[in-house]
Amino acid sequence: MSIDLKTIKHISKLSRISVAEKKAEKLEGDLNSIFEFIEKLNELKTENVEPLTSIAETTLKLRPDEVKSKNLREQVIKNSPKENEDYFVVPKVIE
């Protein structure tokens, strides 16, 4: 897979991030090298390899599932950009 400047500009427009021409050219090279590395990884034979969740041979300690903070709803809602009693309101992103 290869990324060109047109694709980078399209992605930056979708994500609403302005990217200068010089920075876009650097991103093109960086992203292409990342995709080349991913393609090399895809060539590895991993059929008989067990999934690895951690390099440490330890297991997580179990603890009781209990609620420790109560009634934070009002504190969270007051940080909403728009006032609303029921839910957190954010600006529309998709056109």
Tell me the domain boundaries of the chain: 5-42
Give yes or no for a contact between 91 and 81, defined as CB atoms under 8 angstroms apart.
yes
DSSP output for 28-64: HHHHHHHHHHHHHHHTS--TTPPP-S-SS---PPP--
Question: d(Cα 55, Cα 79) in Å, to the nearest integer?
Answer: 40
Alpha-carbon distance of 24 to 67, in angstroms, equals: 46
Three-state DSSP at 77 gives helix
| Domain 5-42, CATH class in plain words | mainly alpha
What does the pLDDT look like over 33-84, one tens digit per residue? 999 999 999 999 988 988 887 788 788 889 898 888 777 877 777 777 777 7
pTM of the shown model: 0.49
Higher-scoring residue by pLDDT: 50, 90: 50
